[in-house]
Amino acid sequence: SLLTLTAAVAALTLPMTISASAADVAVLTTGGVGGTNVADGATLTASLASGTTATLYSSSTGTSGISCTASTFTATVATGGNPTAPGTATESLDAHTFSGCTSNVVGVLGVSSITVNNLPYTTTVASDGTVTVTPASGSTIQTTIVLSTLLGSINCVYQAASLSGTADNADNSIAFTNQAFTKTSGSSLCFSSGYWTSKYAPVTTGGEAVYVN
């Protein structure tokens, strides 16, 4: 009968509809895992996780160097940059700031400024939580630190080819641990190598936490 045929068609269509809906979940969502897809051009922002600092130490196991109580970043989801999960989302890191910075290096009186150069950088976030930051072709990731010393202000320039971090849905965070930088210019008061550690949480867009699928 027509009723039986209609019921049969509905029974066949429902699983397909559910399957298609699940397949449309993008790498980045709001509202939870499998939630609302983050749109192209959306702005993502984050500050340091509560109770943490951003540090640049002279060794991966030491505590000599620079510590900052505040840091924020702003990124924009690229056009077509939030594909269906599993996959890799692509963003443009447009701004990255540090403030409230101090130094315990002998001979350094204070940290005048930290400037992230050569922006924007390309940032990718994979479904497994791997975060990678790379500069534009022919450029490099670079940070210029201005230190106040007994001899006046000095500039310390540090560079890295790329940076690797981890995204975690437990607290909507992105963490970077002991990312290696090499000094390319500066006085002897600028340590020859820098190891950067920071954790940003929560990462949000439009006031909503961002999840990785």
Of all residues in the chain, the percent with pLDDT exceeding 90 is 85
pTM: 0.88
DSSP state at residue 2:
H
Closest CA to 66 of 117, 110, 107: 110
Average pLDDT over residues 170-183: 98
What is the tens place of the pLDDT at every residue in 19-58?
335 569 999 999 999 999 999 999 999 999 999 999 999 9
Question: Beta-carbon neighbour count of residue 13 at 10 Å?
Answer: 10
Pick the more confident residue, 150 or 92.
92
CA 179 to chain CA centroid, nearest Å? 13
Exposed, middle or buried: residue 3 (CB in 10 Å: 0-12, 13-18, 19+)? exposed
Strands 88-103 and 54-57: unpaired
Contact 118, 159 (CB under 8 A): no
Alpha helices in the chain (DSSP H): 2-23
Average pLDDT over residues 104-110: 93
Average pLDDT over residues 109-130: 98
Would you state the pLDDT for residue 19? Answer: 39
Comparing 38-42, 89-93, 141-145, 148-152, the range with the smallest average pLDDT is 148-152
Which amino acid, one-letter code, is at 193?
S
Q: Is the pLDDT of residue 171 over 80?
A: yes
Q: Is the pLDDT of residue 1 over 90?
A: no
Would you state the pLDDT for residue 23? Answer: 62
